[in-house]
Amino acid sequence: MSNDLFQKLGVSQKFQAALDAANFVTPSQIQDQAIPALIEGRDVLGIAQTGTGKTAAFGLPLLQRLDARNKPAQSNHPVGLVLAPTRELAIQIHTELTAFAAATPLRLGCIYGGVGQNPQVKMLRSGLDVLIATPGRLLDLISQQHVKLGHVEILVLDEADRLLDMGFIRDVKKIVAATPRKRQSLLFSATMPDAVSELAAEMLHKPVRVEVAPKQVTVEKIDQRVTMVATPDKLAAIEHILRRDDVKKAIAFTRTKHGADKVARKLRNAGINAEAIHGNKSQNARSRALDGFKNGDTWVLVATDIAARGIDIDGVTHVVNFELPHEPESYVHRIGRTGRAGAAGSAWSLVDPSEVKRLRAVERLIRMPITQEDLDIEVTVPVERIVQQQQKSHQEQGQKRRRPRRRRASRAAA
């Protein structure tokens, strides 16, 4: 099979067999945009989610440039370094890049925490051209002199927003500082919160920015409901929803990690088998929670937006938004976890009156109103009362704002 399209981007003939074997015929959008710039040696800021083909987008140019050096790496001195937030992602990248590197003499290795370090130390000693690592274990091995970053020529930060969410920012900065200033740098992230933009500005030199819009989910097929309920009554509301007969597997979303823990704990106390999954959990705890959810031991997963990214589990019948997300786009990502592969799915959002603006933003984005449904639960705070309080405080604020203007007007008149 010919692979003209990848070759047109500058990918060497050497990688063709691997591309054919992986059935990569047409480059994805991010590959189209990033590969030529990276082969040229430019820094790249890639805004793209998992599933867009970003691994090959940075991996093929990385391997091609390192192969062109024609010089094997020295013991303990990797030349290409890829940082990933989780063990799963690191392994996934390692597997994909190893397949692409088959026709080259390059040696690749992967290190992560939670397992013994001796095999990793031995592997590093043998000399790796490309090291794929999670930050914690890498720093550990650097401090023991098993890894030295002075020969790094290409540095990749993958899923930078998740690295930050998981609290790796300090570690990442230390690692970046340990590499030579003269290097090619790549940063990939699905979202660009301020902390990621700052990191990008620090570590990238005149980057080419490539951005791929996430795949649009067809939300029309998902049955969407909204229940107006005051925050203190949301636990009763979510419990009521989860106890419906048609709920087989559900993912509940909270905005904060703390919130995810709290909701999971309260649900467990109420006899609902729920587990929280977020960036502060250890790798093992997250794997356990996910496995339990996949095999049906746990039927409710309580997740934050970033932790839920990449979770692809069949049979999720319900998504419950314990709070609406700040970004309306996240609502679409969240509810896309249900109704996969043509299956029916339901998404339920619990909305406190303070979240109504966010609800309207979501409705504008999906271009349809969401059906409102009251639940048969006892509430401690009637929603109407909060709305009244809000209106009152708006009026008071309005009066405060108007007063100075009157003063200025009277001074002008005088």
Which of the residues 55 through 84 are near ligand AMP (CB under 6 A)?
Answer: 55-56
Kindly list the distances between the CA atom of residue 355 and the CA atoms of 234, 240, 348, 358, 391, in Å, as whole numbers in the listed order: 13, 21, 14, 5, 14
Stretch that binds ligand AMP, among 18-26, 72-80, 200-208, 355-363 (CB under 6 A): 18-26
Binding ligand AMP by CB under 6 A: which of 10, 36, 51, 136? Answer: 51
What is the distance between the alpha carbons of residues 11 and 37, in angstroms, rounded to a whole number?
Answer: 11
Q: Judged by CB under 6 A, does residue 227 bind ligand AMP?
A: no
Output the smallest distance, CB 12 to ligand AMP, in A. 16
CB of 24 to ligand AMP, least distance (A): 4
Residue number, 19 or 106, with CB nearest to ligand AMP = 19
Q: Using CA atoms in the order 213, 219, 222, 223, what is the torsion angle rounded to 10 degrees?
A: 130
Q: What minimum distance in Å lies between the beta carbon of 134 and ligand AMP?
A: 17
DSSP character string of 250-266? EEEE-SSHHHHHHHHHH
Q: What letter would DSSP give residue 15?
A: G
- Region from 20-28, 195-203, 321-329, 375-383 binding ligand AMP, contact rule CB under 6 A: 20-28
Q: Is 3 in the site for ligand AMP (CB under 6 A)?
A: no
CA of 40: how far to CAs of 189, 208, 287, in Å? 21, 11, 39
Q: Tell me if 242 contacts ligand AMP by CB under 6 A.
A: no
Choose the stretch contacting ligand AMP; rule: CB under 6 A; options: 21-29, 325-333, 355-363, 402-410. Answer: 21-29
- The least CB distance from residue 33 to ligand AMP, in Å, is 13
> Parallel, antiparallel, or unpaired: how do β-strands 318-321 and 371-372 relate?
unpaired
Our CB check for ligand AMP shows the closer of 49 and 254 to be: 49
* Choice between 28 and 273, CB closer to ligand AMP: 28
Nearest to 171 by CA among 218, 113, 219: 113
How far is residue 373's CA from residue 151's CA, in Å, rounded to a whole number?
61
**29 near ligand AMP (CB under 6 A):** no
Provide, rounded to whole angstroms, the least separation between the CB of residue 96 and ligand AMP.
Answer: 6
Comparing CB distances to ligand AMP, the nearer of 23 and 410 is 23
**Core vs surface per residue 261-279: b (16+ CB within 10 A) or e:** bbbbebbbeeebebbbbbb
Shortest gap between Cβ of 73 and ligand AMP (angstroms)? 24
Instruction: Give the binding range for ligand AMP (CB under 6 A) out of 52-60, 107-115, 117-125, 291-299.
Output: 52-60
- For residue 353, the 8-state DSSP code is G
Are the C-beta atoms of 196 and 167 separated by less than 8 Å? Answer: no
Q: Which residue among 33, 46, 53, 234 contacts ligand AMP (CB under 6 A)?
A: 53
> Which residue in 66, 57, 41 sits closest to 129, CA to CA?
66
Alpha-carbon gap, residue 261 to 313, rounded angstroms: 21
Tell me the window of 47-55, 147-155, 373-381, 386-394 that interacts with ligand AMP (CB under 6 A).
Answer: 47-55
Given 3, 15, 24, 128, the residue binding ligand AMP (CB under 6 A): 24
Binding site for ligand AMP (CB under 6 A): 22-24, 26-28, 31, 50-56
